[in-house]
Amino acid sequence: MRFSQFFPLGCAAIAALVGVAASADDATADKWYQVAISSSETAYVNNNAIKLVGDTVEVKVKENFTAPRPAASGGKTFLSTRTLYRLNCAQRKIAMSKTEAYSGADLQGDVVQKASRNDRNLIWMDAPTATVFGEILDYGCRKAPTAAPAG
């Protein structure tokens, strides 16, 4: 018998603490790595989804919030988001490409809000060091694949 059969919650908690998915055998599962924590949120990046898009880096980020945040309409709240960000590493800028807000933590519950922007309409924001955006940018830029050589 496996240890996880006796202590399923303990294994999940340990897996979360070390930053790996509890279903490590599933190669297609999202694997979230904690990259930033503040008094109001914790941000995780999915290493499997970091890629180059033109001269920017695209990262998939899960953010868990310590308190419910209001959705844009409907009087609903959310505790987590999954967001596709674009990173301009050279200029330390970050832009939201697509986001979904979930009523529960860890992307659980109903999707209470969605938004997306095409490449021409991205709104670029500063990503200062020692901020959640800054930590997302630093991690994503450090882990981004390098462009293939021409020719």
- pLDDT surpassing 70 at residue 28: no
Tokens of 3: 């240890």
**Between 126 and 16, where is the model more confident?**
126
Question: Which fold, 31-143?
Answer: Lipocalin (2.40.128)
Least confident of 16-25, 81-90, 140-149: 16-25
For the segment 95-120, what is each residue's pLDDT rounded down to a tens digit? 999 999 999 999 999 999 999 999 99
List where CATH 2.40.128.710 sits in the chain.
31-143
Q: What pLDDT, in 10s, does the model give residues 61-103? A: 999 999 999 999 889 999 999 999 999 999 999 999 999 999 9
Mean pLDDT over all residues of the chain? Answer: 83
Q: What is the DSSP string of the chain?
A: --HHHH-HHHHHHHHHHHT--S-TT-TTS--EEEEEE-SSEEEEEEGGG-EEETTEEEEEEEEEEEEEEE-SSTT-EEEEEEEEEEEETTTTEEEEEEEEEESSGGG-S-EEEEEE--GGG---EE--TTSHHHHHHHHHHHHPPPPPPP-
The set of residues, in sequence order, having a beta carbon less than 8 Å from that of 144 and lying 6+ positions away, is: 50, 51, 52, 57, 87, 89
Whether 24 shows a pLDDT value over 70: the answer reads no
- Model pLDDT, residue 84: 98
